[in-house]
Each structure stands twice: as C-alpha cells, then as structure tokens.
C-alpha cells in the first residue's frame, strides 16, 4: 500500500464559466451561467459569483434564472473548452506517463511513475508548479489535491477549492475521513446513501464502526467489502493512463415534445449518423445498437439489437435504430432521443451490409457529411447567433453575442486581452457580421516571460513549496498569470 502522497487530483475551477470570464473582460467578477438556454435546458457550470445565489450544475436553467436573473447566460462552446483541456492535459503528461482523465477539466496523475515526486515535500512542489504552469498557459486556475490514494486526492482537491492546494499528510487520513458524509466515498450515490441512512449510518466513521460483516449484509459482498476498505482509508485503485471506452452515444433533449412519428424517425436517423461519426473519429466500431427514448411522462425506454459483428456503417446503424424505434410507442410525445453503440472493437466486420434490412439494391451507402448535423444552419433560420459565441464584424472587429431576437443581434466587442468593450446592435442578416473562432486566452510572443517552469517564474526551479500547513494558495492570481497577461491582477 502506497504511503507517500504522490497521487495528484486536478480539478479546474468552474471550468466552462471561468473560460468564458477569461475570454470576456466584461464578465470577470460577475455571475456567469453556462448551459442549455431552452425551456428544458440545464446548467453545465456556474461561476462562483453565480453559486452565491444558489445556482449549481445540473439545475434546470429556468430555476437558475429565477435565482440569478441578472447573471450572464451563455451557450457552451465545447470546441473552445476542449482546446484548453488539451493544453492542461499536456502539462499533466509532462509530470507523469500515468494520467487518467475523468473529463475535460479533471484528472488523476501518479507522480511516482516518473520520479516527479517521492514524498510529501516533492509532491507539494510538483503541485505548486503545476498550478502556476496552468495559469501561465491557459490563464485559468485549478485546484490540486495530493494524497496516497485516488479517493483521498479527490477529497483533498474538493477541500482546496477554489484555486488552492491541499496535501493530506500520511497518518491523518482516518481523522480526516471520520466526520465526512458517507456520500463522500466513491460508489455511494443517492440510493446507497439513503439505504445507509435508514440503517443509522451517516458518516464515514459510523461506516467503519458498523464493521465489514454488517456492510456486506446491507449492501452485498462486493459493495460492502469495498466501502469498508474505503472507510478505513484503503483505496488500492491505480491511476490508469488509458480508459477504454465502453460505448459511444449521442442524445438530444427537445424543447417541445415531438408527437409526429415521421419527425421522430428523422431525428433517430440524424442521431444515428452523429453516433457513427463519433465512432469513426475514434477509430472504433460496435456490435450492439442502442436506442433510448424518454417519453412525455418522463418514462425512459431502452431498446437494443446485437449484430453479427462490429460495424461503423451508417446505413447499418440507421436501420437498426429504426427497427428498434418500431417497437416503441411514442403516441403521447417524445422529449428525448438517443442512439448509442456498445460492444466496441477497433476493427469492422466486412460483410455487415447484409444486416441493413432496407439496404439499397445497388449497394451504394450514403456517406454522412463531415459537418455535425446539429451545427448545420437551419434553412428556416440561417442566421443564428447563440449567446456567448464569437463573431467578427468587418468594421468593429472581434466580439461575442450578448443576445438576439426580433431580427436583431447584440454584440459586445472585446477580446481576452482588452478591457470591457462597447455594445452594438445589428440586423441578424447584416453581411458585415460573421461567426468567428475563439481567440486564445493567453498570447505570448517568442522569448516573453511566463513559459511553464521557466527559471525565475513561479513553478520554475527554486519555487518555494509554500507554508507547512495543509494548503497553498495564491489569492492575488499569481505572478505567472500577470507575466502572461492572461488575467487581471
């Protein structure tokens, strides 16, 4: 069992919202909510300023608007967030070959694998340097937890938020875990938590006191044994560099229930094509086609069909999904549809064309467009301007959409390294206004200070590890960010 705190957990702070604030000077220090803006949209991320009003992720957007009516509500820019995530993951891989991404903004790192850290002091120095490098490269902040296991490292990063570092010293783990809720432990969701609560078990200390036999009786052998070990601060799960995908899927939630059966069929076809594009982009194929339907009354049905072998053929997936839809009653309306593929493989069965029940006799398979169908302009609304997305005007330059409606679009013209910009309103069909790519959050000229780990900069050789306490914070934003010109001091 590992005793040195050399497992690092990084969690970027309010990632989507922080990225939006960094790219939009007028939103810095203000409440920002990112998510679906339709009637059934949900919050993806809320800035810390918005959380003061009670807004949190997974909350219905309508409820968020009631709690924080004056916040900025923006449509996600996933390609932009992914590009920042790639920069962060590259910094993590410079620390160790064992990096286990959990999402765009979260990952575990085994610092011992490359000799980056071997004890508490070296681990703390690595964490301090990482935080400074992330700020210098992206202009954003991340919280770091360091411990002897993945479970404890994640708990430490939660305690470090926002913009901090917490290291759990060896020998203090049981005292730290004891008073925490059982929901803190991996594998304890709402159902298990309620089951334990009814048995009088609320904290991790009470979980340990209950004993392994009692937990096995309550939860079953595998789950009871695992939770008892974790209650004693034992977590032997390794950091896994490559997490094998178990499925590829796409789904859409509709603002208005779909009642027309033909429209439902067209949506399933479109989702099947999107799913295949994701399969091919990952170099994968799959054997089992899955259809998910959430009806008007929130009942959710799942249907699946297993083929003779793996495929990435759009016609095969489309027609399998259509056959599955035939077995589902959608009379009352549909609010969500999804198509997925499981049983993944890195090869394709060559003769699966015959599995497409309605395959054309000439053997020609229609290839899907390279462009995701959800991003194609709607002929009925060719000029759509999602709130928060980037635009460029022939006269005024780069800006972002504050809002649109009634044939008008309002744009604030500013860039990540400018001050708050001016607002102007245009007709939605104004030919001088075009969608644009996001600008980088940090711009650096060759030889400019702020390169990660550069001597003389925070995180470089000689960087102090911070005080001997449990946390290390930079409340002023850090010199690395100021050197890079990324975030106001």
Which of 149, 147, 111, 170 lies closest to 226, judged by CA? 149
Mark whether 106 is an active-site residue: yes
User: Could you tell me how far CA 395 lies from the centroid of its own chain?
Assistant: 36
∠ CA 74-483-462, rounded to 5°: 120
Radius of gyration of the chain (CA): 25
- The 3-state secondary structure of 341-364 reads EEEEECCCCCCHHHHCCCCCCCCC
Pairing verdict, β 72-74 and 285-295 = unpaired
Q: Which two tokens stand for residue 349?
A: 């069965």
Q: Which helix (H) or strand (E) holds 307?
A: strand 300-311
Enumerate the H helices of 204-350 as residue ranges.
Answer: 204-210, 212-219, 221-231, 261-281, 314-326
Determine which one of 106, 112, 267, 451 is catalytic.
106
Contact 413, 405 (CB under 8 A): no
- The 3-state secondary structure of 404-422 reads EECCEEEEEECCCCCCCCE
> How many alpha carbons fall within 13 Å on the CB side of residue 189?
3
| Alpha carbon distance 331, 329 (integer Å) | 6
Pairing verdict, β 72-74 and 32-35 = parallel
| Alpha carbon distance 4, 482 (integer Å) | 33
∠ CA 315-320-324, rounded to 5°: 150
Q: Which two tokens stand for residue 286?
A: 């799959």
Alpha-carbon distances, residue 420 vs 135, 248, 349, 401 (angstroms):
21, 41, 56, 14
SS3 state of residue 138: helix
The residues assigned a catalytic role are: 106
């Amino acid at each position: 069992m590992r005793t040195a705190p050399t497992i690092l957990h990084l969690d970027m702070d309010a990632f989507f919202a922080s990225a939006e604030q960094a790219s939009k000077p007028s939103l810095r220090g203000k409440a920002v909510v990112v998510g679906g803006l339709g009637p059934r949209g949900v919050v993806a991320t809320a800035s810390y300023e918005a959380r003061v009003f009670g807004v949190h992720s997974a909350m219905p957007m309508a409820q968020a608007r009631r709690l924080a009516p004056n916040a900025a509500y923006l449509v996600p820019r996933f390609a932009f967030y992914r590009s920042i995530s790639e920069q962060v993951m590259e910094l993590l891989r410079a620390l160790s070959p064992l990096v286990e991404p959990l999402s765009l903004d979260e990952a575990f790192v085994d610092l011992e694998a490359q000799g980056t850290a071997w004890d508490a002091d070296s681990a703390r120095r690595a964490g301090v340097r990482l935080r400074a490098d992330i700020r210098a490269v992206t202009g954003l902040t991340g919280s770091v937890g360091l411990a002897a296991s993945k479970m404890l490292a994640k708990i430490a990063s939660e305690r470090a938020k926002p913009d901090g570092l917490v290291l759990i010293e060896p020998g203090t783990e049981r005292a730290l875990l004891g008073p925490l809720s059982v929901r803190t432990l991996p594998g304890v969701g709402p159902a298990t938590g309620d089951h334990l609560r009814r048995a009088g078990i609320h904290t991790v200390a009470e979980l340990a006191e209950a004993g392994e036999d009692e937990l096995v009786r309550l939860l079953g052998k595998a789950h009871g044994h695992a939770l008892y070990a974790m209650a004693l601060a034992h977590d032997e799960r390794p950091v896994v560099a490559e997490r094998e995908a178990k499925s590829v899927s796409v789904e859409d939630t509709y603002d208005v229930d779909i009642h027309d059966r033909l429209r439902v069929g067209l949506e399933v076809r479109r989702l099947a094509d999107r799913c295949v594009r994701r399969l091919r982009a990952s170099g994968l194929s799959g054997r089992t086609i899955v259809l998910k339907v959430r009806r008007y009354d929130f009942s959710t049905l799942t249907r699946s069909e297993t083929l003779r072998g793996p495929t990435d053929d759009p016609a095969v997936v489309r027609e399998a999904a259509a056959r599955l839809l035939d077995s589902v009653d959608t009379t009352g309306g549909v609010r969500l549809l999804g198509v997925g593929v499981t049983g993944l493989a890195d090869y394709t069965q060559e003769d699966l064309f015959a599995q497409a029940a309605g395959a054309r006799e000439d053997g020609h398979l229609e290839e899907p467009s390279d462009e995701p169908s959800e991003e194609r302009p709607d002929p009925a609304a060719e000029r759509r301007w999602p709130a928060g997305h980037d635009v460029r005007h022939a006269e005024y330059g780069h800006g972002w959409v504050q809002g649109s409606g009634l044939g008008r679009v309002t744009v604030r013209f500013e860039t990540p390294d400018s001050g708050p910009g001016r607002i102007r309103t245009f007709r939605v069909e104004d030919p001088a206004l075009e969608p644009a790519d996001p600008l980088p959050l940090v711009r650096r000229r060759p030889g400019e200070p702020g390169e990660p780990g550069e001597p003389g900069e925070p995180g470089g050789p000689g960087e102090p590890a911070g005080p001997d306490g449990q946390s290390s914070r930079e409340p002023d934003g850090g010199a690395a960010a100021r050197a890079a010109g990324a975030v106001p001091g």
